Amino acid sequence: MVKERINSILRELPEGVRLVAVSKYHPASMIQEAYDGGQRIFGESHVQELVGKYEALPKDIEWHFIGHLQTNKVKYIAPFVSLIHAVDSDHLLKEIDKQAKRCGRIIPVLMQVHVAKEETKFGFAPDELLAYMQSGAWREYTNVSIQGLMCMATNTDNDAQIASEFEQAKQLFEMVNGKWLNGQWKTRSWGMSDDYPIAVRHGSNMVRIGSLIFGERV
């Protein structure tokens, strides 16, 4: 079941778009089922749950942390996490760098940008992100590797609005990448179960899909 759903999503995704199977709130047995079908990238958004699943499941899984990460919890996932999607402050980036050093790792991360019309306290506003990149503070963090942007669109049925939000993220990605990164950024993480077809038409190369694969979360 899980395997069939993953395969039907993979058939639709353009080449070069990676699938993060968002397994939060679902049991390890369902992750194992997806793993047996060939899926290797899984996304979780709670630290304790992620650590438990990491310990229980095969060690070649690429674990992505996709939720809001509290600085005091970075230390628990730093030894093994493959990508942290939602860096929303200098403070968090600094802590990831510190914990990565302690583990002798370089941890890949994405910056979260807030393009949705919804109120949320998470993510850099586009102008804040530009100011932060301009400040150069991130260059001091030698044990993190910033690889791109992550965003979420407004939860709405208005496809044109969703498309314009993803388009804004794409333009921001290109601007930052050209201006400060010499084109080294590679990852554009946007698109979930309800909006990933729009996301891949507007620049996404990493989709984070949960309920469409694993069913509704309980």
| Interaction site with ligand PLP (CB under 6 A) | 22, 24, 45, 66-67, 192-194, 208-212
Tell me how far, at minimum, the Cβ of 142 lies from ligand PLP, in Å.
Answer: 27
We find the least distance from the C-beta atom of residue 22 to ligand PLP, in angstroms, to be 4
23 Cβ neighbours under 8 A, 6+ residues apart: 30, 31, 34, 42, 43, 44, 53, 210, 214
* Beta carbon nearer to ligand PLP, 140 or 159: 159
Is the backbone of residue 46 left (phi > 0), alpha (psi -120 to 50) or beta? beta
Closest to ligand PLP by CB, 145 vs 193, is 193
Residue nearest to ligand PLP (CB): 210
Q: Measured from the CB of residue 49, what is the shortest distance to ligand PLP in angstroms? A: 12
Amino acid at position 130, single letter:
L
Cβ closer to ligand PLP: 175 or 212? 212
In the bound complex, what is the minimum distance in angstroms from residue 190's beta carbon to ligand PLP? 9
Nearer to ligand PLP, 154 or 211 (CB): 211
Q: Which is nearer to ligand PLP, 67 or 203 (CB)?
A: 67
Smallest gap from Cβ 144 to ligand PLP, in A, equals 19
